[in-house]
Amino acid sequence: MVQFLRKDASFSKDLSVGALAFTTSYPAKPRRIQRVTFTASQAITETITITLDSALGAAYDVILRTMNLAAQKNYIYNAPPETDLQPGDQLLIACTQANGVGTISGAVKARELN
């Protein structure tokens, strides 16, 4: 069976203005997160964090990935199989602003679960 990924959400932030703090939620149908892509306008040295914020409460929140970028322009987080978000769950995507230069943008790719 062929499965098509769709871009569920995209984000962009000028790091000279502030840190990236992006939240996406899935209110209607569960989704399986496939990947989160990041692209910077120039090589940046920052930390990105991807967190599953559970609708069940803080005890069920999971940090999926923390990555220290060192003079990098691109990063792809490939989620482990069965990284599922249920209705009401949120995906929190953050990038620090330690160096205050560049713009970071990206997208969340996911598929609906039946």
Decide if 67 contacts 26 (C-beta within 8 A). Answer: no
Confidence (pLDDT) at 7: 59
Confidence (pLDDT) at 54: 94
E strand or H helix that includes residue 103: strand 103-112
Separation between Cα atoms, residue 53 and residue 68, nearest integer Å: 21
Decide if 32 contacts 109 (C-beta within 8 A). Answer: no
Summary mean pLDDT of the chain: 90
pLDDT per residue as tens digits for the range 92-105: 999 999 999 999 99
**pLDDT over 50 at 4, yes or no:** no
Separation between Cα atoms, residue 108 and residue 91, nearest integer Å: 9
Distances (CA, A) of 37 to 28, 57, 111: 23, 26, 15
